[in-house]
Amino acid sequence: MLLANKTAIVTGSANGIGEAVAHLFSTHGARLLLLDRDEARNAAVASAIAVERGRAIPIALDLRNRPAIDAAVEKGVDEFGAIDILINNAGIYPRQDFMSMTEQQWDEMQDINLKSMFHLTQAVLPGMLSRGAGKIVNISSVTFHLGMASLAHYIASKGGVIGLTRALARELGPHNVYVNCVTPGAILVEAEKAVVTDEQVRAWVDQQSLKRRILPLDIARVCLFLSCELSDGMTGQTLNVDGGWVMY
C-alpha cells in the first residue's frame, strides 16, 4: 500500500496508460480523480475500480478548458481533502507530414499534450506548496530521443514536457514538490491500431533489447515508483521505459 491515504489525479484515464495507472494506484490505496474527455469509458474505469473496492471519481472534461480543470481540482479537494499526486498523462498522437501540417494541427497538439500540463500543474500547486509536499509525474515519449518522420508536432510537444519537468523540478524542489518524467516506448494500446501497421510494430520490437511488447502496466509501475516515497531522492529526472530501445 505505497499510496495509502494519498489522492491522485490521473489525466487520460479512460484507456491505455492512464487506465493502467488508475487501477495500479487504487490497489496501492490511492483515492483517484480521473480526468478524461471520453465520459462513458472514464466512468467505466471508475466503476471497475469501485468493484475492486477502490474509490475513484470520474470527471469528463476537455483539458484545454482551464475553468473546468479548476473546478475538477476543487471537487477533488472537497471530496478527499487534498491532491497529493498529479499524473499528467493525457495526449494525442496523430501522424502528419510537416509540410502539409496546418497551424490548427500544430496548436491542437501543443494545447493537449503540453499546455494541459501547464493548466493542471498550476491548478494543483497551491495546495502542494501550502503543505510542502507533492509528487508530479509527466508523461513524455521516447520519440523525443529518436526523432521520427510525420511526428514533428508531437515530438515538439513531448520535448516541451521534458523541459517543463526540469524547470519545475528546480523551482519546486525547495518546497518539497517532486517533478519527474517518463518516456514510454512503443506501448501496446488499442489506439495504436489506427496509426501504425503490424510491420512497424515488429520493427520497433526488433530494435528493443527486450523482445516483447511494452504494456501500459510497465509504465504504470514506474509512475507508482515516482509517486511514492521510494523515489524521494529523485526530481527533474526522465525515466525511459521502452524495453531497452534507446539508452542514454
User: Residues with catalytic annotation?
Assistant: 154
**Strand segments (E) across 61-111:** 85-88
* Contact indicator for 185, 206 with CB cutoff of 8 Å: no
SS3 of residue 165 by DSSP: helix
Grid cell in block for residue 147: 526523432
> CA-to-CA distance for 153 and 157, rounded, in angstroms?
6
Longest dimension (CA), the chain: 51
Tell me the β-bridge partners of 33: 9, 57
Sheet of 31-36, strand order: 55-60, 31-36, 7-11, 85-88, 134-139, 177-184, 238-241
Q: Which amino acid is at 114?
A: L
